[in-house]
A and B are shown apart, each in its own frame.
Chain A
Amino acid sequence: MKNKLMQMILHRIGHSLIVLVLVTLLVFLVMQAVPGDPIKIFLGPSATQEQIDHYTKLFGYDKPVLVQYGRWVLNLFHGQMGRSVLMQREVSEFIFEKMAITLTVVLPAFVLAVIIGTTLGVIAALHRGKAVDSLVSTLANIGMATPLFWMGILLILLLTIKLGILPVQGYVPPWVNFGKSVQRLIMPVIICSLTPTAVFTRQTRSAMLEVIRQDYVRTARAKGVSRKDIILKHQLRNALIPIITVMGLQLGMMVGTTIIIESLFVIPGLGSTMITAIRSKDFMVVQNVVLVISVFIIFCNLIVDLLYGVIDPRIRDR
């Protein structure tokens, strides 16, 4: 029984690895096509040809693209990701801290979105066709259409400028000063949770509506099960199966949306790093940021697969 689940997960990991290689290769190749030499950008216009040659050789940029890619992959096995031209540091030295910073926004936002989204979705489904339902659905639609940067600006206007409750920008990691960190994270987390909350609300609503009509829900009512238990034990547990896929997808997406949030709130996370690196053509950094994001997304998918196995017994035996 467990073996089949393991088999499925191993199959998924294999597939993910292929995708991972393709993603990085693709990014690698595309980056080569970019006009502009990172070495020249770094050294500035006054650099001599000798200097440029020296650094180009030092970073290995004189080799053919596929050789560069192969070397990058091999070095990954030794825990080395390559050097950032711009920062003159080994990428692996700082990228995980950047990821951790990004996750301090993404993870609380995700938890918030899961709680609010599923609750609203259940409420809307239970009051289908009534005013509450229309209100929730309208809010979800608005949530999905709101530009996050604009939402951020509205929050800054309200909470910082008008009410003066929260400091506007800057970032303090929670492991440095928790109180200050929370203060500065409130707005980014709210904004980061906006889209996923809307998505989860819609998904939960439609999954619940699908489940409410099922015969087993009627069986449960015929047993005299209380309303609360019918919703939690019989409806929501079955509705969760499609919702979980969407949750996994959204968690990956959220790492993407933080690019905007980090730029607005000046948070030194993965997103800001990527923007800076793209602007200065710092190949190695872009390459590795994409790698880290992809690995994170693959990891999310794996967790989704495992959760499937926990929630849906039918998958375990398939």
Chain B
Amino acid sequence: MKISNSAHSYKSKRFFRVLLARKTVILCLIILAAMAFFAIFARFIAPYDPYKQDLNNTLQTISRDHLLGTDAMGRDTFSRIIYGTRISFSVGLASVLIAGTIGMVLGVTAGVVGGIVDTIIMRLMDAMMSIPLIVLAIFLGGILGKGLPNVMLAVGISAAPSFARLTRGQVLTLRESDYVTASTICGSSRFRTTVKHIIPNCISPNIVLMTMNLGGAILAEANLSFLGLGINPPLPSWGGMVADGNAFLRMIPVMAVAPGLFILLMVLCFNIVGDAVRDALDPRLRGSL
């Protein structure tokens, strides 16, 4: 389906108008932009090296030198939070991309090939979806082992079934649509139809679902890292930092409270923006996503 240029610009104008209609959404976008700025320019913003241990200054509470105190190894909590933004962003984006890619490949395959392949793939997705996301991520995380790429993979695979389901549904509707029928009648091969017509039309709803899953993916990583099944130390993961702080809760509560607050803030902003993107791009998806 080709959309003429003017229609396209109208569509994108409408998208931004609806997306930015609410002040909350704008605020969230600003916060996320600031966090992205932190992540990119962490080296210039963080007052200390996040990995540098300072055994003379361990377990400091809030002070002028250390805005959010230091941990058991004397590392500056504020600097570690700034660097942690990188971890959260990259895990969030990567796992959502992994989930979307796996889901789209499986969904398109199931929808286009059909038959027994469809049954097997979708039953498998049913099976995965019948396990709560956290349990699945913990299970896969436990099996794959710790470390940044493994966490991305564990969270990404766990979230993939909903993408597969969405894509398959999309493919089935598209296959029934007149223009796909028309292109088949005109002698276009199944492969060509899939590449030219079906896949491009599956992307937009998947992007919506990706945006909506970003917050959840970040939260899943935080959970894994809190349980000690996630990011390997000394990488500063917010979830892991809360776990570290938990041991010294009575002495310096800020060590556990501060990183958690950042998780909340980032996930909240992503969730609100995700909902807004869905409403702006395709309000019909409201029920199905």
Residues of A within 8 A of B (CB): 15, 18-20, 22-23, 26-27, 30-31, 33-34, 141-142, 144-150, 153-154, 156-157, 161, 252-253, 255-257, 259-260, 263-264, 274-275, 278-279, 286, 290, 293-294, 297-298
Q: How far apart sit A298 and B132, CA to CA, in the bound complex (Å)?
A: 12
Q: List which B6-42 residues lie within 8 A (CB) of chain A.
A: none
A34 touches B134 (CB 8 A): no
Provide the B122-138 mask, 1 if CB < 8 A to any CB of A, else 0.
01101110111111001
B127 touches A147 (CB 8 A): no
Name the CB-closest residue of B to A30. B143
Contact of B135 (CB < 8 Å), options: A34, A161, A264, A274:
A274
Shortest distance between the CB of B242 and any CB in chain A (Å): 6
A279 touches B226 (CB 8 A): no
Name the CB-closest residue of A to B243. A149
Q: Report A-chain residues with C-beta under 8 Å of the C-beta of B226.
A: 147, 149, 260, 263
B239 touches A147 (CB 8 A): yes
Q: How far apart sit A71 and B81, CA to CA, in the bound complex (Å)?
A: 50
Contact of B264 (CB < 8 Å), options: A142, A256, A263, A298:
A142
A147 touches B138 (CB 8 A): no
Name the CB-closest residue of B to A27. B139
Shortest distance between the CB of A26 and any CB in chain B (Å): 6
Q: How far apart sit A245 and B225, CA to CA, in the bound complex (Å)?
A: 31
A257 touches B130 (CB 8 A): no
Q: List which B257-273 residues lie within 8 A (CB) of chain A.
A: 257, 260-261, 263-264, 267-268, 271-272
Q: How far apart sit A18 and B132, CA to CA, in the bound complex (Å)?
A: 18
**Knowing A144-B271, A294-B131 touch, does A22 contact B123 (C-beta < 8 A)?**
yes
B257 touches A157 (CB 8 A): yes
B256 touches A33 (CB 8 A): no
A157 touches B222 (CB 8 A): no
Per DSSP, chain A at the interface is helix
Q: How far apart sit A22 and B119, CA to CA, in the bound complex (Å)?
A: 12
Shortest distance between the CB of A147 and any CB in chain B (Å): 5
Shortest distance between the CB of A248 and any CB in chain B (Å): 12
B127 touches A26 (CB 8 A): yes
Q: How far apart sit A144 and B212, CA to CA, in the bound complex (Å)?
A: 12
Residues of B within 8 A of A (CB): 123-124, 126-128, 130-135, 138-140, 142-143, 215, 219, 222-223, 226-227, 229, 239, 242-243, 245-246, 249-250, 253, 256-257, 260-261, 263-264, 267-268, 271-272
Q: Report B-chain residues with C-beta under 8 Å of the C-beta of A264.
A: 246
Name the CB-closest residue of A to B215. A145
A150 touches B143 (CB 8 A): no
Shortest distance between the CB of A191 and any CB in chain B (Å): 13
Q: Report B-chain residues with C-beta under 8 Å of the C-beta of A142.
A: 264, 268
B143 touches A147 (CB 8 A): no
Shortest distance between the CB of A41 and any CB in chain B (Å): 13
A26 touches B257 (CB 8 A): no
Q: Report A-chain residues with C-beta under 8 Å of the C-beta of B140.
A: 30
Q: Report B-chain residues with C-beta under 8 Å of the C-beta of A278.
A: 138-139, 142-143, 229
Q: How far apart sit A60 and B127, CA to CA, in the bound complex (Å)?
A: 26
Name the CB-closest residue of A to B141. A278
Q: How far apart sit A298 and B222, CA to CA, in the bound complex (Å)?
A: 28
B239 touches A154 (CB 8 A): no
B143 touches A145 (CB 8 A): no
B130 touches A275 (CB 8 A): no
A31 touches B143 (CB 8 A): yes
Q: How far apart sit A142 and B269, CA to CA, in the bound complex (Å)?
A: 10
What would 13 A/B residue contacts be, using CB atoms closer than 8 Å? A141-B268, A142-B264, A146-B264, A147-B242, A149-B223, A149-B226, A153-B245, A154-B257, A161-B250, A257-B132, A263-B227, A294-B131, A297-B130
Q: How far apart sit A144 and B239, CA to CA, in the bound complex (Å)?
A: 16
Q: Report A-chain residues with C-beta under 8 Å of the C-beta of B219.
A: 145, 147
Q: Report A-chain residues with C-beta under 8 Å of the C-beta of B139.
A: 27, 30, 274, 278, 286, 290
Name the CB-closest residue of B to A15. B126
B135 touches A145 (CB 8 A): no
